[in-house]
Amino acid sequence: NAGVMQNPRHLVRRRGQEARLRCSPMKGHSHVYWYRQLPEEGLKFMVYLQKENIIDESGMPKERFSAEFPKEGPSILRIQQVVRGDSAAYFCASSPPSPQRAYEQYFGPGTRLTVT
C-alpha cells in the first residue's frame, strides 16, 4: 500500500479558498477511490473513478466537490470554497483492473485538510 501516493500530506486552507488533493495510484492500477474520514469516524466513500470516467459518485456532496482522473497524471479531488466542516482526512485507494482482484484496495497515506 506504500505505492499509492498522496500529496500534500497536510493542507491548511482558509474558509472560501480552494483545496486540491492529488492521488497517484499504484503502478498498473486503473481504479481510484476517494474516501473522507471525519474525526473519530470511519471512512466514508466519496467517489470511484477509472481513467477519464467517473463510475460512482454517490458519496460526493452535490456542491463544491469534484473529482477527476485524467488520462495522464494523478487523480484530483477538488473542493471549492472550503468550509470548516470540510476539515478531515481524505484517503485515496487504488485497485488493479482485473475483476478477480478488484476487491484489493490499497490506501494512500491520506491528506489531512484543515480549514481555518
| Candidate list 42, 62, 63, 85; residue touching another protein; CB under 8 A | 42
Determine contact, residues 80/86, Cβ cutoff 8 Å.
no
Residues 6 or more apart from 71 whose CB is under 8 A from it? 51, 52
In the complex, what is the shortest distance from the CB of residue 78 to another protein, in angstroms, rounded to a whole number? Answer: 18
Give the total of residues touching another protein (CB under 8 A): 31
Shortest CB 18 distance to another protein, Å: 23
> Does 52 sit near another protein (CB under 8 A)?
no
Closest CA to 106 of 16, 11, 20, 30: 30
* Strands 88-95 and 111-115, bridge-based pairing: antiparallel
Q: What backbone torsions phi and psi does residue 86 show, to the nearest 5 degrees?
A: -80, -10
User: Shortest gap between Cβ of 87 and another protein (angstroms)?
Assistant: 14
Number of other CB atoms surrounding residue 99 within 10 Å: 7
Q: Which of 20, 51, 106, 114 lies at the binding interface for another protein (CB under 8 A)?
A: 106
Residues of this chain, 54-73, that bind another protein according to CB under 8 A: 55-56, 58-59
Binding residues for another protein (CB under 8 A)? 1, 31, 33, 35, 41-48, 55-56, 58-59, 89, 91, 93, 95, 99, 102-110, 112
